[in-house]
Amino acid sequence: MKHPKSEKLFERAKRSIPGGVNSPVRAFKSVGIDPLFLVRGKGAYVWDADGSKYIDYVGSWGPLILGHSHPNVIEAIQKQALLATSFGAPTELEIELAELVKELIPSIELLRMTSSGTEATMSAIRVARGYTGKDKIIKFEGCYHGHGDSFLIKAGSGALTLGAPSSPGVTIDTAKDTLNATYNNLPSVEALVTAHRGQIAAIIVEPVAGNMGVVPPKAGFLEGLRNICDREQIVLIFDEVMTGFRVTLGGAQQWYGVKPDLTTLGKIIGGGLPVGAFGGKREMMELLSPVGPVYQAGTLSGNPLAMAAGLATLRMLKEENPYPELERKSALLAESFSENINRSDIKANQTRVGSMLCLFFTQKEVTDYETAITSDTKAFAHYFREMLDRGIYLAPSQFEAMFVSAAHSDEDLEQTIEANRKALNRIRD
C-alpha cells in the first residue's frame, strides 16, 4: 500500500525533529517502512493522512482502553477547557482523581500526579532511596521504566557485576547503582541481594512485562519478590504504568494478589492526556516535600485538562466494568491467532494477560528477555506490513504489546483474525 502524504510529511518532519519523531519507536524503523502520520481517531479506528482507515491495536500505546475520542472523555476535556487549562494551583479535580485511584488500588494510601510515566518511576525510586537511605536498585532485563538515567542500564558482563549504561549520556556512576536481574527468575534476584546485602533501596518490576512483548509473571514470582523485600527491608515497586487499570481495574496487583509498597501509574490514568502518578505507603509518601525532605515537583503536575480526562476514563471503567468483555474479546483473538499459527506451521507463539497480547515469532516459550529476543524480528516486520496492508494497525515492533479496547467490535476482531491468517500464510510462502 502506498502512503504518499505520510511519506511527504515524514520527509518534512525529519528537517525539524530528530528522526522525524518525538519518541523513537514511532519511526517504524524495525519494520522497514516509513511511519504513518495519523489525523483522526474514533472508537477502534484511526485514519492516516492519506485517508486510509485502520483498526487500531496501539491505542496510543495503552491509554485508550475505551477507544479513541470517547464522548465522556471529550466532554470532560471541553468542559474544563472553558474554565481553565492550567493554574499551577490546587484544584478539586486532583482530589477526585486521587480519591478514585486510592479506592481502586488500595495499596496506595497517598499519591502524587506527574505528567508522564517516566517522571513517576524516577520519583518512586527517589522516595525509596530517601526512605531506606540506600542507593542501589534492582530492575529486570527487558522491563522498561521510562527513560530516566537510572533505568537505561543493561547488565554488565557477569551476572553479578554492576550495570553498564545502555545509552550514551548516562554516566558510569549512575550505572553503578542499577543492578539487572532476570525476569521470572528469583534466584537471580537472591544472588544480587546477597552480593549487595544492605545496599539495595528498591526492586522495581513490571508485574506483567509489557515492554519486551508481553511476558506473564510465573506463578510465585511476584510473591517471591514480596518475600525477599520483606526479609531484606527493600521497597517493592510495581511499575503499573501499562498494567494499571488495564489487566483489571485494580491493576496487576489485584489480578495476582500481591501488594507492592509503591506503585507507578501512567497511560490509562490520563485517558489519553499526559499523566503519570506514583503512590503507596503513607510513611514513604510523606517523605515528599513539602511534608518531608525528598524533593519532587512539576509545573503542570495535576493539570486540570489531564485530570478531567483521567477522571472521566476511570469513572467509565468503574461504572461500566468492561473487563469481562475485554477478557472475552482478547481470549478470542489470542486463541484464533494460536489456531492460525498452528495451521500455518509458522514458528510462533501467542502470549496474553487480559487485554495485553503479543505474537512472538519464536518457538521458544517466552519467559524473560533472553527468550524474548530469540524472536525472528524480520518475520515480525513482514507480519506487521502484511497486517497494515489489510487495515490492521499494530505496534511497529516485536517487543510491544497489542492492546484490545472496549471499542473493538466482534466484526473488527473477525476482520483482524482473517488478516492474521492471511498474513501468516504470506510469511510462510
Binding site for ligand PLP (CB under 6 A): 116-118, 121, 144-146, 206, 210-211, 239, 241-242, 266, 276
Q: How far apart are CA 288 and CA 291, in angstroms?
A: 6
- Could you tell me the smallest distance in angstroms from the CB atom of residue 339 to ligand PLP? 29
Q: How far apart are CA 149 and CA 139, in angstroms?
A: 13
Closer of 34 and 239 to ligand PLP (Cβ): 239
Closer of 65 and 379 to ligand PLP (Cβ): 65
3-class SS of residue 88: coil
State how beta strands 200-205 and 235-239 pair: parallel
Q: How far apart are CA 269 and CA 245, in angstroms?
A: 8
Closer of 301 and 344 to ligand PLP (Cβ): 301
* CB contact at 8 A, 111 and 279: yes
Q: Looking at 34, 177, 239, 376, which residue is catalytic?
A: 239
- Could you tell me the smallest distance in angstroms from the CB atom of residue 272 to ligand PLP? 12
Q: How far apart are CA 206 and CA 217, in angstroms?
A: 9
- Could you tell me the smallest distance in angstroms from the CB atom of residue 262 to ligand PLP? 13
Angle of the 92-104 helix axis to the 304-320 helix axis, nearest 10:
40
Query: In this structure, which amino acid lies at residue 259?
Result: K
User: In degrees to the nearest 10, what's the CA dihedral of 323, 328, 331, 336?
Assistant: -150
- Could you tell me the smallest distance in angstroms from the CB atom of residue 389 to ligand PLP? 28
Residue 130: how many other CB atoms lie within 10 Å: 18
Which helix H or strand E contains 129, and what residues bound it? helix 117-132
**β-sheet bridge partners, residue 154:** 164
DSSP-derived secondary structure letter, 270:
G
Closer of 266 and 304 to ligand PLP (Cβ): 266
**β-sheet bridge partners, residue 138:** 179, 203
- Residue whose CB is nearest to ligand PLP in the complex, by number: 117
- Could you tell me the smallest distance in angstroms from the CB atom of residue 147 to ligand PLP? 7
Q: Looking at 136, 267, 281, 329, which residue is catalytic?
A: 267
- Could you tell me the smallest distance in angstroms from the CB atom of residue 268 to ligand PLP? 11
**Helical spans, DSSP H, in 133-204:** 172-175, 186-195
Spatial strand order of the sheet with 53-56 comes to 38-42, 45-48, 53-56, 392-393
Contacts of 31 (CB under 8 A, 6+ apart): 380, 381, 384, 385, 396, 397
Q: Looking at 144, 256, 369, 393, which residue is catalytic?
A: 144
3-class SS of residue 93: helix
- Could you tell me the smallest distance in angstroms from the CB atom of residue 245 to ligand PLP? 13
Closer of 264 and 344 to ligand PLP (Cβ): 264
Compute CA 325 distance to the chain's CA centroid, rounded to the nearest angstrom: 21
Closer of 123 and 336 to ligand PLP (Cβ): 123
Burial class of residue 257 (count of CB atoms within 10 Å of its CB; 0-12, 13-18, 19+): exposed
- Could you tell me the smallest distance in angstroms from the CB atom of residue 401 to ligand PLP? 8
Closer of 147 and 226 to ligand PLP (Cβ): 147
Closer of 37 and 278 to ligand PLP (Cβ): 278
Q: How far apart are CA 11 and CA 20, in angstroms?
A: 8
267 is catalytic: yes
* CB contact at 8 A, 334 and 352: yes
144 is catalytic: yes
Q: How far apart are CA 329 and CA 310, in angstroms?
A: 24
